[in-house]
A and B are shown apart, each in its own frame.
Chain A
Amino acid sequence: MKTTIEKEFVLEQPIAKVWEYLSDPTKIVDCVPGASITEKIDDRNYKGQVTTSFGPVKASYNGEINISELDQTNYNMTLVGKGVDSKGKGSADMTMKGSLVEKQGTTSVKFIMDISIVGMLAQFGARLIKDVSDQLLGQFVNNFKDMLAGKEVDNTMKGSSMVGSVLKSTIGGIFGGDKK
């Protein structure tokens, strides 16, 4: 089960500050719903955990994050994450390309995420996985904005609200409503 998600958003923050946070997994992890860093191997490699739930399936992925590209001059980075469910119920791979562009003192952030999911989560959530990922990314963006603005960030994932909002967006899609 593979899906690609693209997202672009503007942060009212200088590019240097956005880059400082974004390029440091130990900082950015607090914005990722359900995620935590458990070990820093070196500057480019980390170990972490993501707990997610969707409907009847709860999955806890133990994973490794590798920053395969970190181009401070052009503000490009590529992050490769590989996670395996702690109970052997499946795995998830993700490649995220992020790039920053300065626009009159603000920063435009662009993400392209390729996600591949194998196992229980893919079976149950195949039709909704894109929407779930989209919602998670939306939650991440909000958290990131809060963090940069110096507000408190709560990165626990709320399963029931997630299902509700995904259903809303899926049903909205069926009836031709605006998904975003």
Chain B
Amino acid sequence: MIQECKTSKAISGMGHSMKRKEDARFIQGKGHYVDDIKLDGMLYMDIVRSPYAYAKIKSIKTEKALATPGVIAVVTGRDLEKYNLHWMPTLMSDTQMVLPTDTVMYQAQEVAAVIASSRYAAADGVEAVEVEYEVMKPVMDPYKSTDPSSPVLRTDKKGKKDNKIWHWEVGDKEKTDKLFETAEVTVKQEIYVPRIHVASIETCGCVADYDKVNNYLTMYMTTQAPHAIRTVIALVAGHVGLTEEKIRVVSPDIGGGFGGKVPVYPGYVIAIAVSFLVGKPIKWIEDRSENLQADSFARDYHITAEMAGTKAGKIQGIRFKVLADHGYTDASANPSKFPAGMFSICTGSYDYDTAFVEADAVYTNKPPGGVAYRCSFRVTEAVQGIERITDRFAQTIGMDPAAFRFKNFIKKEQFPWKSPTGWSYDSGDYQLALHKAMDVIGYDDLRKEQVEKRKKGEIMGIGICSFTEVVGAGPSKDFDILGIKMFDSAEIRVHPTGKALARFGTKSQGQGHETTYAQIIAEELGIPAENIQVEEGDTDTAPYGLGTYASRSTPTAGAAAAVAARKLRDKARKIAAYLLEVSEADLEWEPGKFSVKGAPEKSKTIQEIVFAAYTNHPPGMEAGFEATHYYDPPNLTFPFGSYICVVDIDKETCEIKVRRFVAIDDCGNIINPMIVQGQVHGGLTQGIAPAMYEELIYDEEGNILNGTFMDYLVPTAVESPHWETGHTITPCPHHPIGAKGVGESPTVGAPPAIANAIVDALLPYGITNIDIPITPYKVWKALKEKGVVKAI
């Protein structure tokens, strides 16, 4: 399916595989990241971290650290307490220590900060700080967290008597329970979606630069949401005189965000506080271990998934129960009204009207978080749940998983479709996507091959995932963060010579906004994309927006760009009518120019029109050629896709080889096919990661057992299979350019496809589930239990 391009290659509007404008600097090593910033008089910060998961601080001795050459100051929680800066709010209206005054709640928690004249001196200072702890037994198991025998962890919260954070539910409990009592077939499966880390190659960091004379803070930092951060700083530090007009947040080039650069980490706040107190710029850059061990985790959902249906293979309903381990505090980055994010999309791509979904969140002595790792707020967890239980159901009734899906898909003509958990799916063609994936991979032949292989005792599996995402948060009636509505913005200024500068409230971390936003404007205005300069990330210049995460940039800011450009096209029409001395109704638009109907030789190019806006604008009209739009989406968007994975498992070593992986995505109209393909490749690799390699593991004393890249296995090009990608196009009916967002689909869709393939492979041995990450060891253990392989 090839999308028709309405613009010429010279203009490069939508559908052109224009090379990324930003890559010129990235591939030449000329990107400008936060650690590249060096300011006069800048000091360096390093952080003392807790070795214990749960302990009282008896004393912090700083004498030796202060005697270390180059060390200027050591900051503790007691120091920040004097300014009431030792606590901060989380995005979920929970609270979090900036630095502790008396108790540490997880291993690697910040305990004190050392400020020095060089990064080395700061590290030496950290070594010399002596902290005496009284160690307590940590609560590590979320299932035991709510036992009366477990200590209440959040004693800072007055009257808190247990470790529960919240309970959330949606759907019809009574109807669902009744269905499960009477249904012909019910299937139940415990599914753990493990705690993982975004592990972006650039760690987090900042340079806080407070100018005492002008009472003005410039905060250079690795953030996906600069405006939201500015507002949070103003709310937290307003009482010491830092009000919002005196704060500028600059987010330079970012080396991967994936949701991990949405939260406010204590290091940022300490850097600001110290810069405020000493009046010098403070640089703080995490090292790899700090990033992995202390920054927000993702996932960590213990799901009990149930499905009810008929023997003939019709799904009738689902019942999901979740235990969410949030660690020490709820530092998720969800929209405020959605404590479990968009988990209720777990009804999936199937047609039924009964569902009940509930979740309970608890505190443990693990690092806080719950970020949306390349995922629109818990959609990955939801899809893992529904796509695994779907396969379990098909296996239980002995039906082919593809046939089972076809029997239950919501049909193309049923859209917009109201889900039993309240979503209104905007559009879809699930049959087409799965058919296409099956054709590309040769599904029927693979099943025949599998039968032959099984006769020979070889282990081969085929796994399907037909996912539905919900992205683009979001409509203001439901979506806000700390009260700020989740619109996003675009501001377009076209200069007299017809070249443009466009600014956005979002922030690219590798998505290619400098190219795709330019292409959207090129599509609408006919100005060549190469002549449109895109800027983001500086709160002093960019219009207000809530940033880039959860696949929201194209659905919100991308829409804002199109609408703002259309405002300008309307103005251009007026100017063209004036210049050509005809009425507006007599003009015809084609990308890049207006011409008189029936007299195509009488025309004005967009460049001529823009020049006139500055040199010869119609009487009574405002001069200039600028427009701004704040786009409030009427609905979310619902990208979908069908992925099929083929695995071969070595019976001796239990090594799992992904032989083939076909990904058919539907993200609506495509802005840049090359960028979409790149996004899908990266996302699939980040999908294979939790499926086969990644998990943050803690022991019962609270030690993280894989806190470095030595042990935390991030897949590289070596582990990545050959990805076979393709797409279908079902335009979004409510988005100005019919786009839906694609960055996260592959991360969401890949893990269940891989897990389903592996379980499909092992089915003849009576193995019906293995939780991700599915390692050779887990496969070996499962086969050993079934007596298939012998103990070594």
Q: Which A residues are closer than 8 A to B by beta carbons?
A: 1-2, 84-91, 116-120, 122-124, 126-127
Residues facing A in B190-229 (CB within 8 A) are none
A118–B108 Cα distance when bound, in Å, is 12
The chain A residue with its CB closest to the CB of B57 is A88
Known: A1-B701, A1-B703. A123 touches B132 (CB 8 A): no
Question: Which A residues are in CB contact (< 8 Å) with B132?
Answer: 84, 88
Q: Interface majority SS on A: helix, strand, loop or mixed?
A: mixed
> Closest 8 CB pairs between A and B?
A119-B51, A88-B131, A90-B51, A122-B703, A126-B705, A123-B707, A118-B701, A89-B51
Q: 7 additional contacts, CB 8 Å, given A90-B52, A122-B703, A123-B707? A: A87-B127, A88-B129, A88-B130, A118-B52, A119-B52, A120-B51, A123-B704
Partner of B711, one of A88, A90, A118, A127: A127
20 pairs from A and B in contact (CB 8 Å cutoff):
A2-B699, A88-B129, A88-B131, A89-B51, A90-B52, A91-B51, A91-B52, A118-B701, A118-B702, A119-B52, A119-B107, A119-B703, A122-B699, A122-B703, A123-B107, A123-B289, A123-B293, A126-B703, A126-B706, A126-B711
Partner of A1, one of B129, B130, B133, B699: B699
> Do residues A91 and B130 form an inter-chain contact, with CB atoms below 8 A?
no
Question: Which B residues are in CB contact (< 8 Å) with A120?
Answer: 51
Question: Which B residues are in CB contact (< 8 Å) with A122?
Answer: 699, 701, 703, 705
A163–B633 Cα distance when bound, in Å, is 59
Residues facing A in B704-737 (CB within 8 A) are 704-708, 711
> Do residues A87 and B711 form an inter-chain contact, with CB atoms below 8 A?
no
Question: Which A residues are in CB contact (< 8 Å) with B52?
Answer: 90-91, 118-119
> Do residues B51 and A118 form an inter-chain contact, with CB atoms below 8 A?
yes
> Do residues A87 and B701 form an inter-chain contact, with CB atoms below 8 A?
no
> Do residues A87 and B703 form an inter-chain contact, with CB atoms below 8 A?
no
Quick check: is B128 within 8 A (CB to CB) of the other chain? yes
A117–B704 Cα distance when bound, in Å, is 12
Instruction: Count B interface residues, CB 8 Å.
Output: 24
A120–B702 Cα distance when bound, in Å, is 12
> Do residues B129 and A123 form an inter-chain contact, with CB atoms below 8 A?
no
The chain B residue with its CB closest to the CB of A86 is B130
A123–B292 Cα distance when bound, in Å, is 12
Quick check: is B135 within 8 A (CB to CB) of the other chain? yes
Contact bitstring B42-55, A, C-beta under 8 A = 1, else 0: 00000000011100
Question: Which B residues are in CB contact (< 8 Å) with A2?
Answer: 699, 701
Contact bitstring B496-517, A, C-beta under 8 A = 1, else 0: 0000000000000000000000
Contact bitstring B679-719, A, C-beta under 8 A = 1, else 0: 00000000000000000000101111111100100000000
The chain B residue with its CB closest to the CB of A120 is B51
A150–B20 Cα distance when bound, in Å, is 75
Question: Which B residues are in CB contact (< 8 Å) with A118?
Answer: 51-53, 135, 701-703
Question: Which B residues are in CB contact (< 8 Å) with A84?
Answer: 132-133
A40–B133 Cα distance when bound, in Å, is 24
Q: How many whole Å from A93's CB to the nearest CB in chain B?
A: 10
Residues facing A in B119-137 (CB within 8 A) are 127-133, 135
Q: How many whole Å from B120's CB to the nearest CB in chain A?
A: 15
